[in-house]
Amino acid sequence: MARAQAFDVFKLIIVIILAIIGLMLGLHFLRLAPYQQELSVVNSTAQQVWK
């Protein structure tokens, strides 16, 4: 039972790492894309939400 639990945690960590890598790649491609103005609007909105 403990082994299965450890495996679930391991899977969760892998999913989180993949999600972070995907997010960084997505942001990198968005930065290169022509939607830079829209992205900056979304970015400032996100920063206001975080505050």
Note the pTM of the prediction, 2 decimals: 0.47
Domain count, the chain: 1
Q: What is the pLDDT of residue 36?
A: 61
Domain that holds residue 40: 2-50
- Return averaged pLDDT per consecutive 10 residues of the chain, 51 residues in all: 83 95 83 65 79 66
DSSP assignments along 24-48, one per residue? HHHHHHHHHSS-HHHHHHHHHHHHH
Nearest to 30 by CA among 21, 39, 18: 39
**Residue 47 in tokens:** 């920063």
